[in-house]
Amino acid sequence: MTSAQLRRAREALETFAVETPSWGFADTGTRFGKFFQAAAAIDLGDKLADAGHVHALTGCCPTVAVHVLWDFKAGEDPKAVAKLARAHGVKIGAINPNLFQDQCYKWGSFGNGDAAVRAHALQHCIDSIAIGKAVGSEYVSLWFADGTNYPGQDSIRDRKRRFEEALRACHAKLGPKQTMLVEYKPFEPAFYATDIADWGMALLLAKKAGPRAKVLVDTGHHYNAQNIEQIVAWLLDENMLGGFHFNDRRYADDDLTLGSIDPYQVFRIFHEIHFFAADRGKMPSIAYMIDQCHNEKPKIEATIQTVLMAQELYAKAALVDHAALRRAQAANNVVDAELILKRAFFTDVTPALTAWRKARKLAADPLAEHRRSGYAKQAAADRTRRRKELGLVQGGSFA
Ligand code: RM4
Ligand code: MN
Ligand code: MN
């Protein structure tokens, strides 16, 4: 790296933060079964402790996303949860309402034909917004399992209208510091017509909901050949990109570690963001969040791996020579334009990462440091003992 590159990469790292998901530290599974880990978090205290540990090692994960029904007990004081987070050195980040696990959602939440169910879902979102205000969180993140499984099952247009109405009502309750993120997913659990199936639908709904609604891009929620960075560029240009859920996709919804399948694609996404910021003279505010549940990799290791990959690719993307790229583009010099991206991608940014970590008194290799710390071994022992005391059995199958 040249000294100018080193400076650019370090500058980029200064403002880059990644939010960890509380659910990523707990036992989760596939539709068919769960594979348990002794070190998995049992309760919110464990999840926040794990998130705090990841932040202490990486210096890059100050906030934790929470899922309301998984993390908050009924009647719990949100301020107490915020305090617990602070005690672990982190803050509560995006609030995720849960609009899919209650029995009443069999036919959907906001898309449900029954006005009483829609009202129930809306009230849960309003309660979640209030939790967000109480804990000082900036984001309310909405993902819907809604949709239909068979042609003719419901009116596609009626469902769209119901979503428009409920999202508008939801938006009306936001505080001045809150942003509402609308996530899309092509299929699963609905297999015929997911109500918010792609970025265009999310964009339209967010625009209709109000000025503080933006689109959330979950990198896993795209078909294989889909060009995610193009979607990102369009959303940026429309000032409608609110945030990301990081993972990697092999099919269309995977919880794989970011960059494990296609690191160049993640780089290209970051490039679009840096390129946009260079043109506008200002970095847009984007919530970078992880959405991964690991069943094979140890959860904390996979989380650290994701954070390090995100930092590395973000720093590489900051090295793209925008002026040279513009010149190559203006001259229709396709070869040079492509090479400008490739050159940045293949630059080893380790010196910038090492310097950034050193300045923060962090270990040069946070993953190795985690392994050295013995944290996972200790958590496995403590949590195995607590599970026994609480009479919890790690078991469960699909049917
Ligand atoms: C969905 C989606 C949401 C996540 C749930 C658990 O596939 O990615 O963001 O909260 O899973
Ligand atoms: Mn997601
Ligand atoms: Mn997902």
Question: Looking at ligand 1, which residue's alpha carbon is closest to its atom 3?
Answer: 143
pLDDT at position 396 over 80: no
**Are 321 and 345 spatial neighbours (Cβ–Cβ below 8 Å)?**
no
pLDDT of residue 303: 98
pLDDT tens-digit series, residues 286-341: 999 999 999 899 999 999 999 999 999 999 999 999 999 999 999 999 999 999 99
Burial of 302 (0-12, 13-18, 19+ CB in 10 A): buried
pLDDT at position 399 over 80: no
Among 140, 136, 167, which Cα is nearest to 68's?
140
- Look-up of token digits 């720093």: 315
Query: What's the Rg (C-alpha) of the chain?
Result: 21
Q: Give me ligand 1 centre to Cα 187, in Å.
A: 12
Average confidence (pLDDT) over 64-91: 94
Q: Give me ligand 3 centre to Cα 345, in Å.
A: 27
What is the pLDDT confidence band of residue 74, given thresholds at 50, 70 and 90?
A: confident
> Cβ atoms within 10 A of the Cβ of 70, count?
15
Please state, in angstroms and rounded to a whole number, the distance separating the CA atoms of residues 125 and 143: 11
pLDDT at position 394 over 90: no
What are the b/e assignments for 323-358, b being 16+ CB within 10 Å? Answer: eebeebeeeeeeeebeebbeebbebebeebbebbbe
- Look-up of token digits 């001045």: 176
Nearest ligand by distance to the CA of 244:
2
pLDDT of residue 30: 80
Q: Establish how many alpha carbons lie within 13 A of residue 232's alpha carbon, considering only the half-sphere containing its beta carbon.
A: 27
Please state, in angstroms and rounded to a whole number, the distance separating the CA atoms of residues 89 and 87: 5
Question: Looking at ligand 1, which residue's alpha carbon is closest to its atom 9?
Answer: 143
Average confidence (pLDDT) over 229-243: 98
Q: Give me ligand 3 centre to Cα 185, in Å.
A: 7
What pTM, to 2 d.p., does this model score? Answer: 0.97
Q: Give me ligand 1 centre to Cα 197, in Å.
A: 13
- Look-up of token digits 């049917």: 399
pLDDT of residue 33: 83
113: Cβ contacts below 8 Å, ≥ 6 apart: 107, 154, 158, 162
How many Å separate Cα 123 from the centre of its chain? 24
Q: Given the CA of residue 23, which atom of ligand 1 is nearest to it?
A: 6
pLDDT of residue 254: 79
Q: Given the CA of residue 253, which atom of ligand 1 is nearest to it?
A: 7
- For ligand 1, pick from 28, 64, 98, 185 the residue to mutate: most ligand atoms within 8 Å of CB: 185
Q: How many residues does the chain have?
A: 399
Please state, in angstroms and rounded to a whole number, the distance separating the CA atoms of residues 268 and 232: 10
Helix and strand numbers, DSSP H then E, in the chain: 15, 10
Q: Give me ligand 3 centre to Cα 218, in Å.
A: 7
Q: Ligand 1: list residues with CB < 6 Å.
A: 96, 143, 183, 185, 218, 245, 253, 291
- Look-up of token digits 């990109």: 241
Q: Over the chain, what is the mean pLDDT?
A: 96
Q: Give me ligand 3 centre to Cα 193, in Å.
A: 16
125: Cβ contacts below 8 Å, ≥ 6 apart: 97, 99, 140, 142, 166, 170, 173
Average confidence (pLDDT) over 155-171: 98
Residue 28 is given by DSSP the state -
pLDDT of residue 297: 95
Residue 283 is given by DSSP the state P
pLDDT of residue 342: 98
Question: Looking at ligand 1, which residue's alpha carbon is closest to its atom 1?
Answer: 143
pLDDT tens-digit series, residues 332-391: 999 999 999 999 999 999 999 999 999 999 999 999 999 999 999 999 999 999 999 999
pLDDT at position 144 over 90: yes
pLDDT of residue 73: 86
Proportion of the chain above pLDDT 90, given as a percent = 92
Question: Looking at ligand 1, which residue's alpha carbon is closest to its atom 5?
Answer: 143
**Are 43 and 37 spatial neighbours (Cβ–Cβ below 8 Å)?**
no
pLDDT tens-digit series, residues 22-58: 999 999 888 888 889 999 999 999 999 999 999 999 9
Burial of 163 (0-12, 13-18, 19+ CB in 10 A): buried
pLDDT tens-digit series, residues 259-269: 999 999 999 99
Q: Give me ligand 1 centre to Cα 143, in Å.
A: 6
pLDDT at position 161 over 90: yes
Three-class DSSP category at 290 = strand
- For ligand 1, pick from 291, 292, 294 the residue to mutate: most ligand atoms within 8 Å of CB: 291
Please state, in angstroms and rounded to a whole number, the distance separating the CA atoms of residues 92 and 13: 22
pLDDT of residue 200: 98
pLDDT at position 395 over 80: no
Query: Which ranges constitute the DSSP H helices of 199-262?
Result: 199-209, 228-237
Backbone angles phi, psi at 213, to 5 degrees: -105, 130
pLDDT of residue 32: 83
